[in-house]
Amino acid sequence: MPLPLPQDPQFRKEVIQAWLDDVEDRLEMGQPDGALLSWKTANNLLLKLPPGCGDLNLEDQLVALRVKLDNPSHTTNENH
């Protein structure tokens, strides 16, 4: 069982950002299943932020990454 996160909203936002970065990394490595799990974790954490502590930047990133996950042709790495 994971330990509960501290209640500080700023800390929680940093954790959400780390999960969103993990989504990007996993997409670049060609691991869409892992990317989806990371996306779901970030989404769940974002939804649990206290009222009035939302973050539009994180929400925008979440939506953009979901589009990438739903459209694999957008995630191709031209360097490979």
pLDDT digits (tens, 9 = 90+) for 7-63: 889 999 999 999 999 999 999 999 999 999 999 999 999 999 999 999 999 999 999
Exposure on the CB side of residue 16, measured as CA atoms within 13 A? 26
Q: What is the pLDDT of residue 71?
A: 87
5-17 per-residue burial string, b: 16 or more CB within 10 A, e: under 16: eeeeeeebbeebe
Taking the CA atoms of the chain, what radius of gyration do you get in angstroms?
13
Residue 6 above 50 pLDDT? yes
Q: Between 72 and 8, where is the model more confident? A: 8
